[in-house]
């Protein structure tokens, strides 16, 4: 077993200032789990249970209160300067809303080139070859490089967002509700694309969703989150066929037409 990511006893708090008194909220509460190389691990659970906060901790967008996050066996807060610099490229995110996540004033070509400009010193030719290759992988043609995000449908925009996440050739792709804003038929296409990309590019994926139908189709293992904790975890077939926790059973029962 080769772990890409290990999260140990992670707790994340938000300081909320309410009524002049500092109230803190525990969004992630003593979470321990790991993701193996090449695996699609899904986090499922109702709104507000802490899924996005957990992914933000992994991408260093929020700082944990306690606990450890190991990436390639190295604590992400104890990386060497070189590892620290490389880390953002190794862990990339795709977000729920492909309308707000792509800058409306940038052409697709510039959107895809920006991460390469920021993170690499590759030649112009090399950048352009990477962009062409990624576009092909996500099923878009080169003609879109000259267009703006508003000229695309939601599904195509999500392909563009995935392409942007892939240009740096990340090890871990975190997809936070990447299909929730899309129509059902388009959802299926994007899910199939992620499955395909995992195979082609040797990707490891942390997939966040409240939609168990989608998760069942995509995930190798599932962690069920409730109130900041992973209350149950198992391989996908076992979660669906032999759920242990009442909460998991209710979640499965409330999912439409499984």
Ligand X SMILES: Nc1ncnc2c1ncn2[C@@H]1O[C@H](COP(=O)(O)OP(=O)(O)OP(=O)(O)O)[C@@H](O)[C@H]1O
Binding site for ligand X (CB under 6 A): 14, 16, 25, 27, 45, 47-53, 210
Distance in Å, CB of 141 to ligand X, minimum: 33
Of the chain, the end-to-end C-alpha distance in Å amounts to 31
Q: How far is it, in rounded angstroms, from Cα 186 to Cα 195?
A: 14
Give the burial string for 157-194 (b: 16+ CB within 10 Å, else e): bbbbbbbbbbbbebbbbbbbbbbebbeeebbbbbbebb
User: Which of ligand X, Mg ion, none has residue 53 at its interface (CB below 5 to 8 Å by kind)?
Assistant: ligand X
Work out how close the CB of 52 gets to ligand X at its nearest, in angstroms, rounded to a whole number: 3
Instruction: Give me the least distance between CB of 47 and Mg ion, in Å please.
Output: 7
Q: Does 52 bind Mg ion (CB under 5 A)?
A: yes
DSSP 115-140: HHHHH----HHHHHHHHHHHHHHTT-
Q: Distance between CA atoms of 165 and 244, rounded to whole angstroms?
A: 35
Q: Whole-number minimum distance, CB 244 to ligand X, in Å?
A: 21
- How many residues comprise the chain? 258
Q: Residue 77: name its binding partner from Mg ion, ligand X, none (Cβ under 5 to 8 Å by kind).
A: none
Burial of 206 (0-12, 13-18, 19+ CB in 10 A): buried
Q: Which is nearer to ligand X, 31 or 168 (CB)?
A: 31
* Cβ distance to Mg ion smaller for residue 54 or 108: 54
30: left (phi over 0), alpha (psi -120 to 50) or beta: left
Taking the least distance from each CB to ligand X, the nearer of 43 and 163 is 43
50 binds, among ligand X, Mg ion, none (CB under 5 to 8 A by kind): ligand X
- To Mg ion, the closest distance from the beta carbon of 28 in angstroms equals 12
Residue with smaller CB distance to Mg ion, 52 or 236: 52
Residue closer to Mg ion (CB basis): 30 or 46 = 46
Chain residues that interact with Mg ion, rule: CB under 5 A = 52
């Amino acid at each position: 077993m080769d772990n890409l990511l290990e999260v140990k006893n992670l707790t994340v708090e938000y300081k909320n200032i309410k009524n002049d008194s500092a109230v803190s909220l525990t969004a992630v509460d003593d979470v321990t789990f790991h993701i193996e190389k090449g695996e699609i691990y899904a986090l499922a659970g109702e709104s507000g249970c802490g899924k996005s906060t957990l992914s933000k901790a992994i991408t260093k967008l929020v700082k944990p209160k306690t606990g450890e996050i190991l990436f390639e066996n190295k604590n992400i807060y104890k990386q060497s300067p070189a590892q620290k610099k490389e880390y953002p490229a190794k862990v990339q995110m795709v977000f729920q809303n492909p309308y707000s996540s792509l800058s409306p004033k940038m052409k697709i070509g510039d959107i895809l080139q920006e991460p390469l400009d920021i993170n690499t010193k590759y030649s112009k030719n090399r950048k352009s070859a990477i962009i062409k290759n990624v576009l092909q992988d996500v099923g878009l043609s080169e003609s879109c490089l000259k267009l703006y995000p508003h000229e695309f449908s939601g599904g195509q925009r999500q392909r563009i967002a995935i392409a942007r996440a892939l240009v740096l050739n990340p090890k871990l792709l975190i997809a936070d509700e990447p299909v929730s804003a899309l129509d059902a038929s388009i959802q299926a296409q994007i899910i199939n694309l992620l499955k395909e990309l995992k195979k082609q590019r040797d990707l490891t994926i942390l997939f966040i969703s409240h939609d168990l139908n989608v998760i069942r189709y995509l995930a190798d293992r599932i962690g069920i989150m409730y109130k900041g904790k992973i209350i149950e975890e198992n391989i996908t077939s076992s979660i669906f066929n032999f759920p242990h926790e009442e909460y998991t059973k209710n979640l499965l029962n409330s999912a439409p037409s499984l």
